[in-house]
């Protein structure tokens, strides 16, 4: 076992989701969105939250005004900007003054450390660039601000002109920067290259930070390598948001530091909030969180292979690198055609059913595999699996019985309208309802809900949140078998059901019936 690095006496987790993360394609954060995310980050307890660039963006300027009402408890807000313009003075530079006006204790400015960027982007001299760093840092310090300096393109700059890249770090440090951050702006570094460069920068005496992009899929690994080389400040974004391929993912970096290195980065109770916060931020950003995202993804601790399940029944940790509860996640046992008896037994136990009878468990396993061969997907539809399990155990008491259903679509005055009729019995009463919709599935959903509204009024609050269709038979066209998956939500809970049929309406009807029956049995019955 290699020696673990010692935690520095001072260590920062710096989140730039609201600034660098918002530069990702497809992410558009309103001021309200940014305020909400900042609240989540504060709940978790990151050291710093970089809020944006006041003066450069009206929305970011507004954010810092409104952020004063956030009453942050654990985190410090940071305004982001750049060194003053070439040929000017920091005290007269409008964007530099805007940083002061943002009224944050901490400010982070970006500075050039790559000689070619100085020449070609700033169009100034190497000496003037260093004066820009000195002037801007000293002015901000004179205004009572604490300053971080991001040395942009540092690693590429070091490769091209190491002397100048190091001089930029030295200049920022001498001017009064509390932390000088080494930025892998283009994301081209590899972990084995980190130590030499970081150690060269450390010779300046500066406290160092690291800011990595993920263009080589090494942002987290590069950050850890830099930490082991001596940096005491790590920057990243939640869920790895950021330009191009994104930034170092804090939802992976934080637990790596805490659970693998054994460092106190967050209080244990806050670390257990990690999954909730990651998902909450994804929801605000309108970015579906990858199921296979380490630590916080829905599939991070999901087990499908029967071999894994057999081992997990002996010891959960045999196929898990850490306890998912430590980061607020759960172990999930997937049920599929790859499942063995152990999968079914564990899944049954999680749902509250005793499946110790090996013959019974084996029988259920065979039924699952047979259904999966017909096109059903129980790993994606836990609710349908529970309904199947209840049926196999002889404890499935359906809350309603459908006698018949039909649906047709016609064009009326140039508008397509679907009409569905559903006849069912519930609580001893017969109900027949005709419903309309903008399509056959929508019409069936509406008719079924109306029919159940009298015996089960709360069904009206069930919300169909997602609907997915897949053609199962490769090489077939309109006569192919179809699988539908339906997500339904109620009172903070979401469940998924599956239907399979020779057409999309048949498959959808099965998934709809299962969805409403499951919701009534598991959520309404408990109220």
Kindly report the pTM of this predicted structure. Answer: 0.74
Whether residue 427 contacts residue 455, with contact meaning beta carbons closer than 8 Å, is answered with yes
Task: Dig out the tokens for 113 from the structure.
Answer: 């450390």
* Dihedral sign, Cα of residue 28, residue 107, residue 116, residue 155: negative
Q: Answer yes or no: same fold for 12-259 and 400-455.
A: no
Domain layout of the chain by residue ranges: 12-259, 302-373, 400-455
Give dist(CA 185, CA 21) in Å, integer: 13
- Helix orientation angle between 191-202 and 162-175, rounded to the nearest 10 degrees: 50
Whether residue 235 contacts residue 253, with contact meaning beta carbons closer than 8 Å, is answered with no
**H or E element in which residue 146 lies:** strand 146-152
Give me Rg for the CA atoms of the chain.
29
Give dist(CA 263, CA 8) in Å, integer: 9
Class of domain 12-259: alpha beta
pLDDT tens for each residue of the chain, 527 residues long: 678 899 999 999 999 999 999 999 999 999 999 999 999 999 999 999 999 999 999 999 999 999 999 999 999 999 999 999 999 999 999 999 999 999 999 999 999 999 999 999 999 999 999 999 999 999 999 999 999 999 999 999 999 999 999 999 999 999 999 999 999 999 999 999 999 999 999 999 999 999 999 999 999 999 999 999 999 999 999 999 999 999 999 999 999 999 999 999 998 789 999 999 999 999 899 998 887 899 998 777 766 554 444 544 555 666 678 998 899 987 666 554 455 556 677 777 777 777 777 787 777 778 877 887 788 877 778 888 888 888 888 888 999 999 999 998 888 777 888 899 999 999 999 999 998 888 898 999 999 999 999 899 999 999 988 898 988 765 555 556 889 999 999 988 889 999 999 889 999 999 999 999 999 998 776 55
Domain 400-455 has CATH 3.30.160.20: yes
């Amino acid at each position: 076992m290699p020696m673990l690095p010692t935690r520095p006496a001072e260590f920062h987790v710096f989140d730039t989701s609201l600034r660098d993360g918002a530069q990702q394609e497809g992410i558009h954060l309103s001021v309200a969105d940014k305020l909400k995310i900042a609240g989540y980050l504060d709940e978790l307890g990151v050291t710093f939250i970089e809020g944006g660039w006041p003066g450069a963006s009206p929305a970011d300027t507004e954010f810092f005004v409104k952020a004063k009402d956030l009453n942050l408890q654990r985190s410090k807000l940071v305004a982001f900007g750049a060194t003053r313009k070439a040929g000017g003075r920091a005290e007269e530079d409008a964007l530099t003054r805007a940083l002061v006006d943002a009224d944050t204790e901490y400010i982070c400015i970006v500075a050039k450390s790559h000689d070619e960027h100085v020449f070609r982007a700033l169009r100034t001299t190497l000496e003037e660039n260093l004066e820009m760093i000195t002037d801007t840092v000293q002015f901000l310090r004179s205004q009572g601000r604490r300053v971080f300096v991001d040395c942009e393109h540092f690693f590429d700059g070091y490769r091209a002109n190491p002397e100048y890249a190091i001089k930029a770090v030295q200049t920022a440090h001498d001017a009064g920067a509390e932390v000088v951050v080494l930025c892998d702006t283009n994301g081209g570094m590899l972990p084995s290259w980190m130590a030499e460069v970081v150690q060269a920068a450390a010779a300046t005496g500066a406290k160092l930070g690291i800011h990595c992009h993920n263009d080589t899929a090494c942002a987290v690994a590069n950050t850890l390598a830099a930490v082991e080389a001596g940096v005491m400040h790590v920057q990243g974004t939640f869920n790895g948001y950021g330009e191009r391929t994104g930034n170092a993912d804090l939802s992976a970096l934080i637990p790596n530091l805490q659970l693998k290195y054994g460092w106190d980065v967050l209080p244990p109770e806050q670390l257990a909030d990690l999954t909730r916060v990651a998902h909450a931020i994804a929801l605000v950003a309108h970015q579906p969180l990858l199921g296979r995202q380490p630590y916080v993804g829905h599939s991070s601790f999901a087990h499908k292979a029967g071999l894994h399940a057999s081992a997990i029944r002996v010891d959960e940790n045999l196929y898990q690198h850490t306890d998912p509860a430590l980061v607020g996640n759960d172990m999930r046992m997937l049920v599929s055609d790859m499942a063995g008896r152990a999968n079914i037994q564990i899944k049954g136990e999680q749902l509250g059913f005793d499946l110790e009878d090996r013959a019974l468990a084996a029988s259920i396993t065979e039924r699952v595999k047979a259904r999966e061969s017909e096109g059903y997907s129980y790993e994606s539809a836990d609710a349908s699996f529970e309904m199947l399990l209840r049926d196999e155990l002889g404890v499935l008491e359906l809350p309603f019985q459908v006698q018949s259903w039909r649906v047709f679509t016609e064009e009326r005055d140039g508008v397509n309208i679907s009409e569905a009729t559903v006849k069912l019995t519930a609580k001893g009463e017969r109900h027949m309802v005709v419903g309309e919709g903008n399509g056959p599935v929508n019409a069936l959903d509406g008719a079924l809900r109306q029919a159940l509204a009298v015996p089960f009024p709360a069904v009206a609050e069930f919300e169909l949140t997602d609907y997915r269709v897949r053609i199962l038979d490769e090489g077939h066209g309109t006569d192919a078998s179809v699988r539908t998956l339906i997500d339904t939500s109620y009172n903070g809970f979401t469940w998924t059901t599956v239907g399979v049929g020779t057409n999309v309406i048949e498959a959808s009807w099965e998934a709809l019936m299962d969805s409403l029956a499951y919701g009534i049995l598991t959520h309404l019955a408990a109220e």
